[in-house]
Structure 1
Amino acid sequence: MKIIYPGSFDPLTLGHIDLIKRLAKMYDEVIVAVLINDNKNSLFTLEEREEIIKEEIEAENLTNVSIKSFDGLLVNFAKKEDVKLIARGLRQVTDYEYEKNIAMFNAELYEGLETIFLLSNPKYSFISSSGVREVIRFKGDVSTFVSSNVKKKIEENFYK
């Protein structure tokens, strides 16, 4: 059984890595679907984000996890990949309301598409990519939010 875990992953956080590892234990194949984000405020390019995820997947020896990029509607990507299962992480109650509505739209656009929600590990429940970007903006210490590999890339690119 295949599942898609979509996101911008800009930057990849410890919460993302935790979800990827958990999904890899539960499903035969996990596709980490990296959103092609035309947002000019991105920290990393698509290629850099894919490389960062690849390095983390290899470090964890997650052989059933692949990385693919997509733009546009997630449902179109899911159809192209012939996958009918999406994973989303929930950190707080407010995430549920937001994600529930997206899941309902997606199910309406692609018959049979299901979204599962995984609760984040409590120690990562406050971490968001946008929060990490804010810490980076002020050159703060991100070591409790991202892996050492991601921290190194952030320091190389933004803490000069």
Structure 2
Amino acid sequence: MAGNSRPIDARGWIFEVQDLEAEAETWLPIAGLNTFTYNPSENEETTETVAFESEGAYEEDVMQRGASIALAGQYRVDKTTNAQDPGQAYIDNVWANLVGIDSHNPVRWRHRSQTSWVVWDATMTPGEQGGGNNDKTSWAATIRRNGWATTAAVTP
């Protein structure tokens, strides 16, 4: 069966942010993305455990695990209303203004071929926006996991 395995398309990944201001559970897809970078070792911390009995060989223990996802693409608006994409707008106008314990927000992501979401309690750093004469305006954010990831079934 290994001969039947194929790589998956990067464009098949879906990223959503939970709107904590909504009365009912509401997940907002983040539109306009054209690249992402998942870093499963972001904020990892190790401690050296070398002792005389290590006989000169390096040894360590991982003391902390972390992860991040950097999202980037194009700033998107509705062509009829000119309103920014709801997922991007929530990140830019709600989440980006929160500090302390309020700076935490759930995010979830998966590939369209998967049957469960990866869910993070996360903090976020907004990315730069810009562009040149013949460019589309860029949009970006970096999301960092807090605690351990959980999963949730994909429901219609």
Q: Going by fraction, where is helix more abundant, 1 or 2? A: 1
Q: Work out which structure has the larger RCO, using CA pairs closer than 8 Å and 6 or more positions apart in sequence.
A: 1
Q: TM-score range by the shorter chain?
A: under 0.3
TM-score scaled by length of structure 1: 0.25
Q: Going by fraction, where is strand more abundant, 1 or 2? A: 2
Structure number with larger C-alpha Rg: 2
TM-score scaled by length of structure 2: 0.26
